Amino acid sequence: MTKLRLQYQTIEFGETDIHLCTLRDKQQFDDPDDAAKDIGISSAQWPLFGVIWPSSVILAELVDGYCTEDKRILEIGCGMALPSLLLNSKAADITATDYHPETENFLERNASLNDDETIPYERTGWADLDDELGIFDLIIGSDILYEDEHAELLARFINDHAKPVCEIILVDAGRGGVNKMIRAMVKLNYESEVLERPKQSVVTDNFKGRIVRFSRDAV
């Protein structure tokens, strides 16, 4: 990461401060061994994992204070993994996953920056069928629907990693794929509802996305 320009920031959640080392901006790029290129991540896409997006902050605000006792939790498409870091600070059973080859390095660095335990992590894609993540009670994600075809892939990935009784919370940034995602999840026997964003949010811009909660009581 020596060629990258980085920045440090702190985001407050009530009495909890989460410290982060992120890319300085979306102009950063460093893929000397073509690790990202070889799995289909272009130079334009490369830095998107490494900054904090409003949807991630909103998701972290939603799970702050969430009852996580006895729940196994997965953050998908975690990027800088702000919700995971917040849950980790509260000793929740959180696992993170992303496709980007540099995500794990930042995740370990930021867990250490917050004096917390390393977060279990596995790099995998939604089309992969051989990951070792297991199944979860709660699955969360933010700003992960970039393309229309992602909805079907993501729905199958979630279903493969959801316990028979489970809950999924996705914060969509308003890129247009959420309706297709809802239809895909309903086909898999999940109920859906749109949630209100946190009233006391540090995200002050005009957020145009939607927060969708999926649930399944039994299969």
Task: Render pLDDT for 59-85 as a digit per residue (tens, 0 to 9).
Answer: 999 999 889 999 999 999 999 999 999
pLDDT for residue 219: 57
Query: Rounded to whole angstroms, how far apart are CA atoms 32 and 21?
Result: 21
Within a domain: 142: yes
pLDDT higher than threshold 80 for residue 13: yes
Instruction: Output the pLDDT for position 113.
Output: 98
Distance, in Å, from the CA atom of 64 to the CA atom of 13, rounded to the nearest integer, reads 7
pTM of the model: 0.95
- Mean pLDDT score across all residues of the chain: 93
- Contact at 8 Å (CB) between 31 and 100? no
pLDDT of 1 above 70 = no
Residue-number span of the structural domain to which 122 is assigned: 52-216
Q: What is the mean pLDDT of residues 25-34?
A: 95
Say if CB 211 and CB 205 are below 8 A apart.
no
Q: Is residue 42 part of a domain?
A: no
User: Domain holding 110: CATH number?
Assistant: 3.40.50.150
- Calculate mean pLDDT across residues 186-212: 88
Work out the average pLDDT over 165-185: 92
* Structural domain includes residue 117: yes
Query: What is the tally of structural domains in the chain?
Result: 1
pLDDT tens for residues 100-153?
Answer: 999 999 999 999 999 999 999 999 999 998 999 999 999 999 999 887 778 999
pLDDT value at residue 176:
76
For residue 94, is it within any domain?
A: yes
Q: Over 50: is that where the pLDDT of 217 sits?
A: yes
In which band, very low, low, confident or very high, does the pLDDT at 191 lie, cut at 50, 70 and 90?
A: very high
pLDDT at 142: 96
How many CB atoms are located within 10 Å of the residue 212 CB? Answer: 19
Is 96 domain-assigned?
yes
Amino acid at 14: G
3 part of a folded domain: no
Domain presence at residue 88: yes
